[in-house]
Amino acid sequence: MPILAKFEKQPADEQDYDISFVDWLAALSDTAPGPNSVLATADPGITLSDVSLRDGVVKVWLSGGSDGTTYKVTVTLTTVNGRIKQVEIKVKVKES
């Protein structure tokens, strides 16, 4: 699966990352029904503390992680019409 985006964060950072499904949903004339239509998972070692959906944009909150380690976060969105789209981001933890 292709990686949608790559980010860097420090181990002590708690950051939010936006993943837009707006264009994909618009091209299909479909919608995401609400928060229950999103599933987000993260590799062990980084904390995924919250996930939300608003107007076709998924926001994931991440914290922690070990210096020098890159973590994968997978977000799966299910639409009203039953379409499923899965994307991944990579987050590298780097002490600077």
The tens digit of pLDDT for each residue in 29-46 reads: 999 988 789 999 999 999
Strands (E), 13-69: 14-20, 38-42, 46-54, 57-64
In the chain, where the domains are located: 3-93
pTM: 0.92
Rounded-to-integer distance, Cα 43 and Cα 55, Å: 26
Rounded-to-integer distance, Cα 34 and Cα 77, Å: 10
Rounded-to-integer distance, Cα 2 and Cα 13, Å: 26
The mean per-residue pLDDT over the stretch 6-31 comes to 97
Please say if the pLDDT value at position 56 is more than 80.
Answer: yes
Q: Are the C-beta atoms of residues 86 and 4 closer than 8 Å to each other?
A: no
Return the CATH number of the domain spanning residue range 3-93.
Answer: 2.60.40.10
Q: Are the C-beta atoms of residues 62 and 43 closer than 8 Å to each other?
A: no
